[in-house]
Chain A
Amino acid sequence: MSRALLVFRLASRDLRRRPVEAVLLLLAITGATTVLTLGLVLHGVTKGPYESTREATAGPDVVANVISEPTERERAERRPPATPVDSAGLEALTDAPGVVNHSGPYPLVLASVGANGHTAEAQVQGRDATPALVDQPKLTEGRWVRDGGAVFEAAFATAIGVGAGDSITLNGRSFQVVGVAVSAALAPYPVVSCLSFCSQSGVVWLTRGDALSLTPRRRAAGLILNLKLANPAAAPAFAAARNPKGPGQGAPPGSTQPTLLAWQDVREESADLVRNQAEVLRTGGWLLVLLALASVAVLVGGRMADQTRRVGLLKAVGGTPSVVAAVLLAEYVVVALIAAAVGLAAGWLAAPLLIDPSAGLVGRAGAPALTISTVGLVTAVTFGVAVAATVVPAVRAARTSTVLALADSARAPRRTPWLIALSARLPVPLLLGLRVAARRPRRIVLATASIAITVSGIVAALAAHLDLAADVVDPSSPLDITKADRFNEVLPVITITLAALAAVNAIFITWATALDARHSSALARALGATPQQVSAGLSAAQVLPALVGAILGIPGGIALFAAVGDSMTVPPLWQLLAVVAGTVLVAAALTAIPARIGGRRSVAEILQSELA
């Protein structure tokens, strides 16, 4: 117990002694955990809202409908079918085994909505003014239907920009919007729900009389029935047994056989809009975890080099190697666990901002639930990152000779003979840069990996963008456009976060390099290198790995998209070249300041400090 207390005290004091580094570490890991949490939370984002909507609206377990098919002549003359809808098939369903309750059949009419100068397709349901026992839409605004008053499905109302009190037209006839509501019977606009027909139309509820008044002969185009089963889990089997061609396939033309849709299918359709977002965020989250690993490794490596004397002191006063390793590990694990908690909270709170497509669901107002598995996974990943990045330097520090540690002997740099020979033929900044880089190969690998991961993410995002553009089959399709909009909303979030974390890494690495190379930089200046040459050398030590990382990131990104997106899309050459050039320029710009500071430290002070 006393040992644990000692470790805790030493770790917390050291963190307090270096608050800036602790905060930077916290930010780096928090960025990664936030995005990872967002990805995991969005993965099941529609489950919670859909189920709460289903509960609030007495959502049906099965929706069934039947339509009146036009004859060939009616279709050719673009006239509505003269034959009335046969409701016998639907009525038979109300008595089917397992059905415990129902509402409807309600008349269904296809109409053109005019609002705010725009027109859109709507499927109008004629409902009773009294509440239904199954599928009674939950009002989020206004009141329920009355003669002359329409209620709009919430996502449809948002899409066409109407609310309670607005005036609209349906097939040219004026109505007032009296309410906005959500329902679990069909997926929110603009998701295509397929029953007897597939329609990308929004749902509008009117009174039965008003609905029928929209057609020339006051005759419905179809009927819709909501069923409640004794066993809701059996809904897919119930629907499949009665759908001759399966859910969504519809009945043959002219058939009076109804088409059925289980609530589980509606839930899946509702998730369709955020599925791409969740995939992007989850993949991006993992990329960010890798970048955070690089950040932590660089920071820890830099701090360990800085802490050599402290390690020596700990050991000199009786600290065993295991206590030393435990103190160093404890510092980073504590920071990582705080970052996990902050990231989980931030991801959970940010998720509703990205799930607006579920506007048609009641649960949208609240944040989606954090599951135990999400919390566990994010915490475990963060803990793993801290331990993986810390364990090697911690053990190395613990094993360092006490005498050498007390003397603060710097870790000997690596020698790469061929690189030294090659650099002798290059201009002075490149000579210095290559030699500085070659001193710490592990740091260069981290820098290269960090850039390669970021560029992979950017290239995958470009590929995804292209792929999505190709997928928008119908530019006038609200679903395709909404999906593209949502995707384009989340893609920059992940790309910017990736770039930001990579930028932080680049600065960390340059700073660590400048600190590590302070002696050789000062010596080079004493021997005649100008501050500009030394600064350019320190920058070159980062830019060269950035160039290699950017080049490696291109196939990495294409492979990443092929793995996640299930298709091979290669962005155009000019985009790839621009990414490489941009990466190198940004790396040069980001490293310029720490390199400039590193190249201008007092030569005399640094060389004298080596004697202290």
Chain B
Amino acid sequence: MNANESLPRVGPVLRTSGLEKEYGHGEGLVRAVDAVELEVASGETLAVMGPSGCGKSTLLHLLGGLERPTAGEVWLAGRRIDELSEKALARLRRHAIGFVFQAFHLMDELTAAENVELPALLAGRSPRAARRRAAELLEEVGLTDRKEHLPSALSGGQRQRVAIARALSNDPLVVLADEPTGNLDSAATLDVLRLLESLRSTGQTLLIVTHDARIAATADRLISMRDGTFVEETRLTHGPTGRLAELAGLER
């Protein structure tokens, strides 16, 4: 049984209430996230957009349990997670959350396949099952012929595809992507967008943080963020997501 099946699926997959995150003290106090109310439905793709330093990445870290909020609540699949211990959060991340980072964050000494199988090994899967799953995912992202390559031998787009495959290793409830195309050129951005599109078509819940309007335009819903707060929410009505790349103006 998938561990995610044990999580109650009542209401939105991800929800926050009065979420706040402050850094510093006194005059140096910075409120990176301020009174954020958010709901992400299952299978939804949500884009959070805003200028650099507006608190997007901090919000993503709070949602993924990588940082603790100063105030407010974070709920994942009906379970409050902001009060969990570090250990419980780690276990939750293992099964329910997949991260994709702007800087890829692959282990330099591991091959593409070894990077992808790592979350499965951390989750206690057998080496054989983890390797099999990694092979499937690398095939899905079109990197079967690169599976034994080290990250240093891959292009930026290929590295990000490996990172996306790794995020999917344990079939997470939600994938949190932090500027997934921030370090990529146009061609690589297109590859990643196509991949995100195919993920969405399988019903994968996605939350993408970006400052690139073209990426944001591809989501079901777009939230604009400034100075730590949500300033605008737009439900995008461009229809099926099969034309993500076209809408983003990246079609070759």
Chain A residues in contact with chain B, CB under 8 A?
412-416, 420, 424-425, 428, 431, 435, 438-439, 519-520, 523-533, 600, 602-604, 607-608, 610-611
Q: List 22 A-B contacts (CB under 8 A).
A: A413-B108, A414-B109, A415-B110, A420-B109, A424-B130, A428-B124, A435-B109, A439-B109, A524-B118, A525-B90, A525-B93, A526-B93, A527-B93, A528-B170, A530-B86, A530-B87, A532-B87, A533-B122, A603-B67, A604-B67, A607-B66, A607-B105
Q: B47-90 toward A: CB 8 Å interface, digit per residue (1/0)?
A: 00000000001100100101100000000000000000011001
Q: Which residues of B come within 8 Å of A, CB atoms?
A: 57-58, 61, 64, 66-67, 86-87, 90-91, 93-95, 99, 101-103, 105, 107-110, 114, 117-119, 121-124, 127, 130, 150, 152, 166, 170
Q: Given the known A-B contacts A524-B122, A604-B61, are A531 and B87 also in contact in the complex, defined by CB atoms under 8 Å?
A: yes
Which partner residue on chain A sits nearest B106 by CB separation? A523
Cα distance A531–B87 in the bound complex, in angstroms: 7
Q: A530-B87, A530-B90, A610-B105 are in contact. Are A420 and B119 (CB under 8 A)?
A: no
Besides A528-B90, A528-B119, 7 more A-B contacts (Cβ < 8 Å) are A420-B110, A424-B130, A435-B109, A438-B109, A528-B91, A528-B170, A532-B87
Interface centre among B118, B123, B124, B130 (most CB of A within 10 A): B118
**CB nearest to A534 among chain B residues:** B90
Task: Say whether, besides A424-B130, A528-B119, A523 and B107 are in contact (CB < 8 Å).
Answer: yes
Chain A nearest CB, measured from B56 CB (Å)? 12
Tell me the interface secondary structure of chain A in the complex: helix
Minimum CB distance partner of A428 in chain B: B122
CB within 8 Å for A424 and B117 given contacts A526-B93, A528-B94: yes
Docked-complex contact A527 and B94, CB < 8 angstroms: yes
Contact B150 A528 (CB under 8 A): no
Measured in the bound complex, the distance between the Cα atoms of B117 and A608 in whole Å is 23
Q: Are A611 and B102 in contact (CB under 8 A)?
A: yes
Cα(A51)–Cα(B231), bound, Å:
92
CB distance from A341 to the nearest CB of B (A): 43
Instruction: Please indicate the chain A residues that have their CB under 8 angstroms from the CB of B99 in the complex.
Output: 526-527
Is B108's CB under 8 angstroms from A420's CB?
no
Q: In the complex where A604-B66, A604-B67 touch, is A528 in contact with B93 (Cβ < 8 A)?
A: yes
* Number of cross-chain contacts by CB at 8 Å: 89
Q: Whole-angstrom distance between the alpha carbons of A277 and B93 in the complex?
A: 60
Dominant secondary structure of chain B at its interface with chain A: helix
CA distance A415 to B127 in the complex (A): 19
Question: From A599, which residue of chain B is reached at the shortest CB distance?
Answer: B86
Nearest CB in chain B: distance from A218 CB, A: 92
A603, closest chain B residue (CB): B66
- Most chain B CB within 10 A, of A424, A523, A528, A533, is at A528
Say whether A527 contacts B119, CB under 8 Å. yes
Question: Which B residue's beta carbon lies closest to that of A526?
Answer: B99
User: In whole angstroms, how far apart are the Cα atoms of A531 and B90 in the complex?
Assistant: 8
Q: Indicate if the CB atoms of B103 and A610 lie closer than 8 Å.
A: yes
Q: Which residue of A lies closest to B86 (CB)?
A: A531
Query: For residue A610, which residue of chain B has the nearest CB?
Result: B103
A478 to chain B, nearest CB (A): 63
- A120-B119 Cα distance, complex, nearest whole Å: 78
A residues near B118, Cβ cutoff 8 Å: 524, 527
Give the distance in Å from the alpha carbon of A531 to the alpha carbon of B65 in the complex: 13
Report yes or no: B103 in contact with A428, Cβ–Cβ below 8 A: no
Neighbouring B residues of A532 by C-beta, 8 Å? 87
B57 to chain A, nearest CB (A): 7
Interchain CB contact (< 8 A) of A526 among B66, B109, B121, B127 = B66
**Residue on B nearest A520 in the bound complex, by CB:** B107
- Asked if A528 meets B130 with Cβ closer than 8 Å, knowing A413-B109, A420-B110, the reply is no
Report the Cα distance A408→B189, complex, angstroms.
26
Closest to B123 in A: A528
Q: How far is the CA of A528 from the CA of B130 in the complex (A)?
A: 15
A524 to B93, CA, bound (A): 11
Asked, given contacts A531-B86, A531-B90, whether A523 binds B105 with beta carbons under 8 Å apart, the answer is yes
A413: chain B residues within 8 A (beta carbon): 108-109
A438 to chain B, nearest CB (A): 8
Residues of A within 8 A of B67 (CB): 602-604
Tell me how far the C-beta of A426 lies from the nearest C-beta in chain B, rounded to whole angstroms. 9
Query: A604 vs B69: C-alpha distance in the bound complex, in angstroms?
Result: 13
User: What residue in chain A is nearest B64 (Cβ atoms)?
Assistant: A526
Top 7 A-B residue pairs of the complex, sorted by shortest distance between their CB atoms: A528-B94, A530-B90, A604-B61, A424-B127, A415-B109, A604-B66, A530-B87
Instruction: Provide the residues of chain B in CB contact with A611, threshold 8 Å.
Output: 102-103
The docked-state distance in angstroms from the alpha carbon of A532 to that of B87 is 7
Distance of A115 from chain B, by nearest CB (Å): 70
Q: In the assembled complex, which residues on chain B have CB atoms less than 8 Å from the CB atom of A416?
A: 109
Nearest chain B residue, comparing its CB with the CB of A532: B87
Chain B proximity of A466: nearest CB distance (Å): 46
Cβ B103 vs Cβ A530 within 8 A: no
Of listed B58, B86, B95, B117, residue having the most chain A CB within 10 A = B86
In the complex the two chains form, is B119's CB within 8 Å of A425's CB? no
**CB of B3 to closest CB in A, whole Å:** 10
Q: Which of B61, B95, B103 contacts A528 (CB 8 A)?
A: B95
Q: Which residues of B contact A607 (CB under 8 A)?
A: 66, 101, 103, 105
Q: Which residue of A lies closest to B94 (CB)?
A: A528
Indicate if the CB atoms of A529 and B152 lie closer than 8 Å.
Answer: no
* Docked pose: A531 CA to B67 CA in angstroms: 14
Residues of B within 8 A of A530 (CB): 86-87, 90-91
